[in-house]
Amino acid sequence: MYRVIILLLFTNLFFMLHSTGDISKYINMKYSFLSYSMIFVLFFLTIAEGIRWYVSDKKKETEHDGCDCHHDHTHEKKKVSTGKKIKKFLSYTFVLIPALSGVILPVATLDSKLVDAKGFQFPTLEDSKDQYGMHQVLNPDMSQFMGKDAFLDLVTKESKSYKATDQITLTDEDYLKGLEVIYNFSGDFAGKTLSMKGFSYNGPSLNSNQVFLLRFGIIHCVADSGAFGLMIQFPNNIHIPNDQWYQVTGKMDTVYYQPFKLKIPVLKVTSYKTINTPKDPYVYRNSFN
C-alpha cells in the first residue's frame, strides 16, 4: 500500500510541475519531454503496483482463512517483526519527503542571495579540480561540457553574426550564447550598442555608479546553473538595490576588475528602465551549433 501511495505522489509531483510550468525552474526545457514522459511511466507503475498489492492482499486473506494452526508466536519473533516494521516505515517516510515537499513547498526563484551564498568569483580563480562542480559567474563557460577545442570552434563560429552588427540585443533565446561571444572577444565589441535585461546585483569592489546585471542560466539542470551577465556603468552615481529588474541599452567597453584581476566587458548605460520580473526569469543554453 505504501508503494502505491509513493508512486501516486511522485506522479502528482511531475504532473503539477508541468501543469504550473515550474519544471522550467529545475531543468533546461529542451529536456522537458523526459520529465513529461515520467508522468505516464509513474502512472502505469502506480496501476501495476496497485494490482499487485490487491492480489497479494487477497492471497493473504485466503491463506489466513484456510489456516487451522494456533497463533503461538514467540516474544522474540514479535520483536523482530516490530523492528522490520519500524525500518520499513522510516525508509518509506524518507522517500515520501521529496514527493510531498515538491508539491507543498513553493518553488523559490534563484536571486542575488544565492550569488552571495556561492561566492562571486570566476571559476578560473577557484581552487577546485572538479570542473563540473564549479560555480559559474558572469561568463558562461561551455568548455566544461564539451572540451576546450570544441568550445573554441563553437564560439568562433557563433561570433560571426555578432561581430557583423553594431546593434546587439541579448534575447532570452541567445542570452548565454551572446555572452560567451562577448567575453571571449570583448575587444571586438568596444563601441557597439547592446541591449539586455536582468536583475541587479551589487557585487564587491564596485564604484557608486556600477552594478552587475545578471540572469540565472541553466545549461542542463539547476545543479549547473550560474549567474551570467555584465557589469553596467551609469553616467552618474546611483543606488540600485539587489534583485531589481532592468532593461538597459548602452555602449560596450572593457574595464579592469580588481577582484577578478582581469579585464571584463562593461556596458556603459545610455538608457534604462525598470521592468517586472519576467514570467520565466531563467535563460537556457538551447543549442551547441
pLDDT tens-digit readout, 135-168: 578 898 877 777 788 888 999 999 999 999 999 9
State phi, psi for 284 to the nearest 5 degrees: -135, 155
* Distance, CA of 289 to CA of 285 (rounded, Å): 11
120 and 100 within one domain:
no
Q: Which three cell numbers stand for residue 111?
A: 536571486
CATH of the domain at 175: 2.40.50.140
- Domain end point (choices 104, 137, 156): 104
Beta bridge partners of 138: 228
Has residue 33 been placed in a domain? yes
The helix/strand count (H/E) of the chain reads as: 7, 8
- With beta carbons less than 8 A apart as the criterion, state whether 220 and 28 touch: yes
Domain that holds residue 253: 112-284
Name the average pLDDT for the chain: 83
Question: Which secondary structure element, helix H or strand E, spans residue 182, and what is its range?
Answer: helix 175-184
Q: Within a domain: residue 122?
A: yes
Residue 27 pLDDT exceeds 90: no
Domain co-membership, 151 together with 195: yes
Q: Residues 231, 158: contact at Cβ < 8 Å?
A: no
- On whether both 95 and 119 belong to a single domain, the answer is no
DSSP state of 281: -
User: Rounded to whole angstroms, how far apart are CA atoms 124 and 133?
Assistant: 12
* Closest of 188, 158, 160 to residue 175, by C-alpha: 158
Same domain, 55 and 187: no
Neighbour count for residue 232 (Cβ, 10 Å): 23
Largest Cα–Cα distance of the chain, in whole Å?
93
Residue 193 DSSP SS3: strand
DSSP E strand stretches across 43-147: 137-138
Which residue is associated with the grid cell 548565454? 176
pLDDT at 224 exceeding the cut of 80: no
pLDDT of residue 122: 61
End residue of a domain, out of 104, 125, 152: 104
C-alpha distance from residue 288 to each of 27, 174, 176, 265 (Å)? 17, 11, 11, 23
Q: Are residues 157 and 128 in the same domain?
A: yes
Is the Cβ–Cβ distance between 24 and 225 less than 8 Å? no
Is residue 274 very low, low, confident or very high in pLDDT (cuts 50, 70, 90)? Answer: very high
Q: Do 82 and 137 sit in the same domain of this protein?
A: no
pTM of this structure: 0.75
Q: How many domains does the chain have?
A: 2
Domain identity same for 245 and 177: yes
CB atoms within 10 A of CB 287: 12
DSSP designation for 21:
S
Separation of CA 174 from chain center? 17
| Local structure of 268: helix, strand or coil | strand
Whether residue 170 has pLDDT greater than 70:
yes
Judge whether residue 208 has pLDDT over 90. yes
Q: Is the pLDDT of residue 113 over 60?
A: yes
Residues 187 and 50 in one domain: no
Q: How far is CA 276 from CA 170, 249, 269, 279, 280, in A?
A: 17, 17, 19, 9, 11
